[in-house]
Amino acid sequence: MADGFEFPVDRTQVMLFARAVLDGRPEFTDPHDPATVALGGMVTPPTFVQCSAHYQPDYALDLTRPRKGPPPAHRGDGGGGGLGRGLHAEQHYEYHHPIHVGDTLTVTNRPGERWEKEGRRGGKLLFSESITEYRNQDGVLCVTARSVGVQTEKAVEQ
């Protein structure tokens, strides 16, 4: 996804996410709290950027979204893949700049490194990473997310 897509950061989304992860800090819910004011306004909780999937036009894992034709094929770059041989292995976040309510993030994704390791039951393990960058409306890099997926060479024998 070279061009990316936009992800508007909405106050209600932030509040609902914070409640879902049981984080009641006022920085996520109360714009008038002194802690929030000190941060320059309401900010997002850690990992909130994963909500951007709701705005990704070709998000293959959302099977509830109306589409013309079948869901897009999985790219195999960090999510594990299909065929019953893949899984999501790791997720890493690097935070560079706060994300505030009212920001509009541009989300871009690129493939990262690939490597192999010999497995015990499924043959060769094929690892791939996907790098997702979240930049605000001023072009400032806010978060870099690195997702690692793994696929087995063959189905694991029971």
**pLDDT score, position 73:** 57
Q: What are the E-state strand segments in 4-156?
A: 5-8, 86-95, 104-118, 124-135, 141-152
* In the predicted structure, residue 124 carries a pLDDT above the cut 70: yes
Categorize the per-residue pLDDT at 64 as very low, low, confident or very high, splitting at 50, 70 and 90. confident
| Residue-level pLDDT at 2 | 47
Question: Which residues have CB under 8 Å from 77's CB, separation 6+?
Answer: 109, 111, 112, 128, 129, 130, 149
**Domain assignments of the chain as residue spans, ordered by start:** 5-152
Instruction: Please determine, for residue 88, whether its predicted confidence score (pLDDT) is greater than 90.
Output: no
Residue 78 has pLDDT above 70, yes or no: no
Rounded percentage of the chain residues whose pLDDT exceeds 70: 81
Residue 145 clears pLDDT 70, i.e. is over it: yes
Mean pLDDT of 39-60: 90
Q: Is the pLDDT of residue 1 over 50?
A: no
The average pLDDT across 33-54 equals 94
- Of residues 90 and 3, more confidence is placed in 90
pTM of the model: 0.81
User: How would CATH label the architecture of 5-152?
Assistant: Roll (3.10)
To the nearest whole number, what is the mean pLDDT of the chain? 86
The residues, ordered by sequence, that sit 6+ positions from 43 with a Cβ below 8 Å of its Cβ are 14, 27, 28, 36, 98, 99, 100, 101
Condensed to tens digits (0 to 9), the pLDDT of residues 105-114 reads 999 999 999 9
Radius of gyration of the chain (CA): 18
Region 130-155: mean pLDDT is: 93
